[in-house]
């Protein structure tokens, strides 16, 4: 009986398919939601396992520079991707611009300011932004405020957060009256109101570059292809992202 069991176990192990290669993705926090949906479809269709680590693009880039084992990188800023590319931390010829976005001014319940009048309307209220010297959403927001001539008037009221979703939550929870986030973020939080769109001419173009790292294997390459495919593009478009033409 023991011999029969060992023979059955050995045959079962031989017949079982090899474990699919896992992929570790480092992705900008603003992609949480639609990227999860794309990954779920990819896992179902291919059998590969995917883990996504979300965060501010600056934090993710620095982690990769420090040796974090990412297979695929999807950031919200070209400059941080340039830094990784210049450090030879991206696989050559795999980088491409994937998505675009825009900024909006949001408010807590009852807030009534607009971007044009924010400096006059903010008073003693708080304005939530992602880190303005490091996180892309914060960099873009500060550029827009400076272009509009608002920055010097509102900077004392600014609360800075590690990523744009944290700024969104401050407004949703009432810890800040106003915030500047990506337009796509507002779909994730019904407790905030979009007060006005922020003109694209006031800040650098918002694009999301994607690339493999040298440790990315076949599964990571397949996920990169899936991200640029029609099914993924439809998911991102439905979430409010623009799709960058190849």
Q: How far apart are CA 129 and CA 142, in angstroms?
A: 8
Looking at the fold, whether 96 and 215 belong to one and the same domain comes out as yes
Looking at the fold, whether 133 and 183 belong to one and the same domain comes out as yes
Looking at the fold, whether 13 and 95 belong to one and the same domain comes out as yes
Residue 154: which CATH number?
Answer: 3.40.190.10
Containing 219, the helix (H) or strand (E) segment is helix 218-227
Looking at the fold, whether 222 and 198 belong to one and the same domain comes out as no
Looking at the fold, whether 115 and 236 belong to one and the same domain comes out as no
Looking at the fold, whether 113 and 143 belong to one and the same domain comes out as yes
Per-residue pLDDT tens digits for 74-98: 999 999 999 999 999 999 999 999 9
Looking at the fold, whether 135 and 92 belong to one and the same domain comes out as no
20: pLDDT strictly greater than 60: no
Beta-carbon contacts of 34 under 8 Å, excluding residues fewer than 6 positions away, are: 184, 235, 236, 238, 239, 241
Looking at the fold, whether 118 and 192 belong to one and the same domain comes out as yes
Per-residue pLDDT tens digits for 94-117: 999 999 999 999 998 888 889 999
16: pLDDT strictly greater than 50: no
**If you write DSSP's letter for every residue of 9-43 in order, what string do you get?**
HHHHHHHSPPPPPEEEEEEEGGGTTHHHHHHHHHH
pLDDT at 10: 37
Looking at the fold, whether 107 and 195 belong to one and the same domain comes out as yes
Q: How far apart are CA 238 and CA 221, in angstroms?
A: 24
- The number of distinct structural domains making up the chain is 2
The rounded percent of the chain whose pLDDT value lies above 90 is 86
Tell me if residue 194 falls in helix, strand or coil. strand
pLDDT at 246: 62
Looking at the fold, whether 107 and 71 belong to one and the same domain comes out as no
Domain interval for residue 131? 103-202
Per-residue pLDDT tens digits for 134-158: 999 999 999 999 999 999 999 999 9
pLDDT at 111: 84
pTM: 0.84
Looking at the fold, whether 52 and 64 belong to one and the same domain comes out as yes
Tell me if residue 128 falls in helix, strand or coil. strand
pLDDT at 17: 38
Looking at the fold, whether 36 and 123 belong to one and the same domain comes out as no
């Amino acid at each position: 009986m023991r011999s029969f069991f060992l023979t059955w176990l050995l045959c079962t192990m031989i017949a079982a398919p090899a474990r699919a290669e896992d992929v570790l993705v480092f992705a900008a926090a603003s992609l949480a939601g639609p990227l999860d949906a794309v990954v779920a479809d990819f896992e179902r269709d291919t059998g590969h396992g995917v883990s996504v680590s979300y965060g501010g693009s600056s934090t993710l880039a620095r982690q990769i520079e420090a040796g974090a084992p990412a297979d695929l990188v999807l950031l919200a800023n070209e400059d941080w991707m340039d830094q990784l590319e210049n450090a030879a931390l991206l696989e050559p010829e795999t980088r491409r611009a994937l998505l675009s976005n825009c900024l909006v001014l949001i408010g807590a319940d009852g807030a009534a300011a607009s971007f044009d009048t924010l400096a006059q309307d903010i008073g003693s209220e708080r304005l939530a932004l992602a880190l303005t010297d490091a996180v892309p959403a914060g960099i873009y927001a500060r550029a827009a405020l400076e272009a509009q001539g608002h920055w010097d008037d509102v900077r004392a009221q600014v609360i800075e957060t590690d990523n744009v979703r944290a700024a969104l939550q401050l407004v949703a929870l009432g810890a800040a009256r106003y915030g500047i986030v990506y337009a796509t973020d507002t779909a994730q939080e019904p407790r905030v109101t979009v007060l006005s769109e922020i003109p694209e001419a006031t800040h650098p173009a918002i694009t999301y570059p994607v690339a493999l790292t040298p440790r990315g294997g076949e599964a990571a390459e397949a996920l990169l292809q899936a991200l640029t495919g029609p099914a993924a593009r439809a998911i991102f478009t439905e979430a409010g992202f623009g799709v960058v033409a190849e």
